[in-house]
A = this chain, B = another copy of it.
């Protein structure tokens, strides 16, 4: 594979190369890449939503097994997911990328191909960015704008006693995909080949892991190429359901439902036997001696939607494809409970994002 040094293009050359022939799909994009700021036309009666995510090598991704195109796709999609979680529509992104010398122009083409593919799939425009050198690994910062009618916006603080608690898709699969990748990485002995003292792993596009992933492709896809649940937002809209509270599940169901309960000043009861779990995830958890319920509750990066809705919407919810009622909202004094298969009550534990405790070095 050809390797073109980024130095041969320089910053402006690289930006031009990566943003050349950008298509703008949103009529609101009046000016995209190429000036001090992008210019966006506001539609009457519509609010602007804005969310940002920072992805750092060695913390959020490991380039030993994450292809750059997938990484770009995922970096964009996780931002779209935040906008959908407000019941909005993502419209524009700006992208900041910090690149160390071990990356080539071809690497950046891959990364941006993924970002552009995600934009294409979701009808979003890339309207600006900042590309710079990095002393260490790869840094990706994406900020996403979106729109929503004021009356459509769903916050985290609107859950009411007796509301249904619903999730889309299944939970824990992205986490099990990560466990699978990590297991294979170690099995391949790559862990021992990484240079000591180097905080981030070395990206080597030549090295290809071809391990025993057969029958586990779905888990890999959930980890490497997650999708934002635009389809669920559309289905809810078409069914005439406006959730009372909503967020996306990036840190695990336990952590997220506790956010909703805290902000809404309510409690909840989540039923273990209602948790949607994919059979591949369950089988791998069994094989790896992991508790699949814990993985489902605390494994992150599913990017499914968690929402509450009024009990009167029950009949409308049931027929919705890929939406599952997992519990209900209670008075705050009941706490945030997991109800086991035998009716036993346990306090939900929000492990959530604990990188400061366990991942840093």
Interface residues of A (CB under 8 A from B): 6-7, 10-12, 14, 30-31, 34-44, 46-54, 56-60, 82-83, 85-86, 88, 92, 94-98, 100-101, 127-130, 132-137, 139, 141, 143-146, 148, 150, 153, 155-156, 197, 199-200, 247-248, 263, 352-357, 359-361
Contact = CB atoms under 8 A, between A and B. Distances in A.
Contacts of A247: 35-36
What is the count of identical protomers in the complex?
2
Interface centre among A34, A36, A58 (most CB of B within 10 A): A36
Contacts of A46: 42
A95 to B, nearest CB: 8
Contacts of A248: 36
Given A47-B42, A53-B96, A130-B53, A36 B85 contact: yes
Contacts of A352: 11-12
Contact of A50 (B43, B59, B128): B128
Given A7-B356, A135-B199, A50 B145 contact: yes
A6 B156 CA distance: 26
Contacts of A47: 30, 39-42
Given A56-B132, A56-B135, A139-B139, A37 B88 contact: yes
Given A42-B48, A94-B50, A35 B360 contact: no
A40 B48 contact: yes
A5 to B, nearest CB: 8
